[in-house]
Amino acid sequence: MNKSNQDTGYLHSVETFGALDGPGIRYVLFLQGCPLRCGFCHNPDTWQACTGKAVTPEDAFEDILKYKNFISSGGVTLSGGEPLLQPEFCQALISLCHSAGIHCAVDTAGSIPLDFCRQAVDAADLLLLDIKALDPTLCQELTGQDNQNALALLEYCEAAQKAVWIRHVLVPGLTLRRELLENLAEFLSGFSCVEQVELLPFHKMGEYKWEALNLRSPLSGTREPTKAEVAAAKKIFQSRGLSIH
């Protein structure tokens, strides 16, 4: 395919047989760069922008086509990092994928102002939206940024009836608190665009990446939630009529 510097993107890595990032089996592109500094991030090596492998949308699409038969039940997911930090690349790649009938999801924390990334959001078939915390002060504490952009994105998806899967990390002592979960569940129950909620137990599998970068995770002393705690959290959301994955 013809190569162009227009809309060049920066990739951290790809996963050709992803089963955790949207419906079906998916080709997942992890884009480089993220404005958040989440204490529970398992990919801190994606934070730095404009690094990694530079590719054009055509380059990326050409590789995706090699796996088209394997991802026919799913599609492509743009993840990161924060993919909407590179909206032109996302929009162009989604357009190419749609030309081949491939479903496209964007996995985002909603940290980018909508005015900057609206066209990429409009192009996506599905948003996997990670709500870090409903309380803006807690969100600031967890990520270094409040949730204004994320909630504005959710409101926009509701108006456009864009399909959304909500993701929320359960961190003992921080987000795994009954009153906070009840408030979030009640809030999300008012959005018809939310198809399901994924509650993700906090884990430390990415802690070695922090160490490799000479960083110390602020949650290094935090325990992982128990199965009983996760089950209780799921019941809160189910009681509000929300579908839990």
Backbone phi and psi for residue 196, each to the nearest 5 degrees, phi listed first: -165, 165
69 pLDDT above the threshold of 60: yes
Distances (CA, A) of 204 to 41, 179, 209, 230: 9, 25, 10, 16
pLDDT per residue as tens digits for the range 116-142: 999 999 999 999 999 999 999 999 999
Q: How far out from the chain centre does Cα 8 lie?
A: 21
Give CA torsion, residues 58, 29, 10, 216, to 10 deg: 180
| CB contact set of 221 (below 8 Å; sequence gap of 6+) | none
Q: Do the Cβ atoms of 163 and 193 come closer than 8 Å?
A: yes
Q: Do the Cβ atoms of 26 and 46 come closer than 8 Å?
A: no
Q: Do the Cβ atoms of 9 and 46 come closer than 8 Å?
A: no
pLDDT per residue as tens digits for the range 199-232: 999 987 778 787 888 888 888 889 999 999 999 9
5 pLDDT above the threshold of 60: no
Q: Do the Cβ atoms of 118 and 162 come closer than 8 Å?
A: no
Place of tokens 């940024």: 145
Q: Which pLDDT does position 220 carry in this prediction?
A: 83
100 pLDDT above the threshold of 80: yes
Q: How far apart are CA 164 and CA 19, in angstroms?
A: 17
pLDDT per residue as tens digits for the range 158-169: 999 999 999 999
Q: Which pLDDT does position 79 carry in this prediction?
A: 97
Q: Do the Cβ atoms of 139 and 169 come closer than 8 Å?
A: no
- Confidence class for position 243, pLDDT limits 50, 70, 90: very high
3 pLDDT above the threshold of 70: no
What domains appear along the chain, each with residue ranges and CATH number? 9-166+204-209 (3.20.20.70)
**What percentage of the chain exceeds 70 in pLDDT?**
98
Angle between helices 114-123 and 87-99 (to 10 degrees): 10
The secondary structure of 135-197 as a DSSP string is: SHHHHHHHHSS-SHHHHHHHHHHHHHT-EEEEEEEE-BTTTB-HHHHHHHHHHHTT-TTEEEE
3-state secondary structure 66-119: CCCCCCCCCEEEEECCCHHHCHHHHHHHHHHHHHCCCCEEEEECCCCCHHHHHH
Q: How far apart are CA 62 and CA 29, in angstroms?
A: 13
Strand 9-18 relative to strand 53-55: parallel, antiparallel, unpaired? antiparallel
